[in-house]
Amino acid sequence: MYCKFTILILSLHNNINMNIKLGVMRMRSCKFKEEKSHDFIKAFEEELKELGDMAPFEDREKIIMKTLYSGKGRYYITFEEAARSVRKVLDHQAIRCKNGCKMAMYEEMALKVADYMQRHPSYDYRAALYRVLAESRASRFFFGMQTAKLILYQHYRSREEQKEIWQNFEQTNRQFK
């Protein structure tokens, strides 16, 4: 009886942990998406500031491309996904990845991990990958022009909507004074 009860408790515990892990992974990927968007918008606005008074006259796609390749992003990926995919790249195994940007990210990370392990022989693969994820900047934002435009559109549209809501609030507030 004791063994069955213990197994039942462990089984329930593992199921709960699995559900929690799945929820955390979903939260992480959502958080990464928000971080990626925030970092890209910040980098884009820095590019605009660098252009100064010439910003309105520059081609937007040119500014977006400059931002994409600015090196101001990082690797927006969970450790678990990176560990699986980068290991396959290092072992010259096929990866089921149709996204060219994501594949380029895995290859760049694999080069950095291999370099890190060569410079620090005491580090194993997982430790080197952890260091790369934690400390390295990506050479670019690993998404394309369409995604970049969508991020900017959503950001500036939401700012306009917030501005309109605030203006409506102020107008309503003035009417009741």
Cα-trace Rg, the chain: 23
Query: Is the model's pLDDT at 72 over the cut of 50?
Result: yes
pTM over 0.85: no
Distance CA(15)–CA(107), nearest Å, equals 35
Distance CA(107)–CA(97), nearest Å, equals 12
**How many other C-beta atoms are found inside a 10 Å radius of the C-beta of residue 37?**
19
Distance CA(49)–CA(39), nearest Å, equals 15
Yes or no: say if 89 and 132 are a contact pair by the CB < 8 Å rule.
no
Give DSSP secondary structure letters for 89-123: HHTT-------HHHHHHHHHHHHHHHHHHHH-TT-
pLDDT tens string 108-135: 999 999 999 999 999 999 999 999 999 9
Counted residue by residue, the chain has a size of 177
Alpha helix (H) ranges present in the chain? 2-51, 60-68, 79-90, 100-119, 125-135, 145-175
Domain boundaries along the sequence of the chain: 75-136
pLDDT tens string 1-20: 444 433 333 333 444 443 43
pLDDT of residue 76: 94
